Amino acid sequence: MSNLKLGRIGVLAFALSLIGLVGFAAQKTAQIQPAVHSEHSEMMLTCAKACSDCQRACDSCSTHCARMSNEGQKEHLSSLMSCQDCATVCAAASQIVSRGGPFSNLICTACADACGRCAKECEKFPNDKHMKSCAEECHKCEKACQSMTKHMASSK
């Protein structure tokens, strides 16, 4: 056999052994995760989904507010800005919380506050179905983020 062929076989054997070690380590890590971790993960994913849902509702509502403002209803400018900012905060919260980032508690606190404020802006238009729907999503997200921060504080 040529040296080149032996070299390739050696590299392949080394790569396969590394893959085996990584898989073994992952398997061992999965075995020692406590049951509480699955509850924590489930809560984080629930919160991340609420944030993502709210982000989409706020983005849609900001477009609605832009149309209303363009049609002469300037009172929608404030809710437009609130919805845009809330959508941005919710998007960041969804990303950070879904990956279990170290700033999850910080972003959830900010997100709950942003959602509460945005909901109040949208509730200024009780006869507008679009605004009402956005306020409802904001309240859902606010509650999910508050639950998440309480859960994280109690699990320390």
Contact call for residues 65 and 73 (beta carbons, < 8 A): no
7 is a domain residue: no
Average confidence (pLDDT) over 49-73: 97
For residue 147, what is the domain's CATH number?
A: 1.20.1270.360
pLDDT of 153 reads: 83
pLDDT at 95 over 90: yes
Question: How far is 153 from 144, CA to CA, in rounded Å?
Answer: 14
pLDDT at 31 over 50: no
1 is a domain residue: no
- Nearest CA among 76, 114, 77 for reference residue 94: 114
Range of the domain at 53: 40-154
Tokens of 105: 């508690």
pLDDT at 46 over 70: yes
Count of structural domains, the chain:
1
6 is a domain residue: no
pLDDT of 3 reads: 52
136 is a domain residue: yes
47 is a domain residue: yes
Cα 153 to Cα 11, 105, 106, distances in angstroms: 48, 9, 11
pLDDT of 10 reads: 52
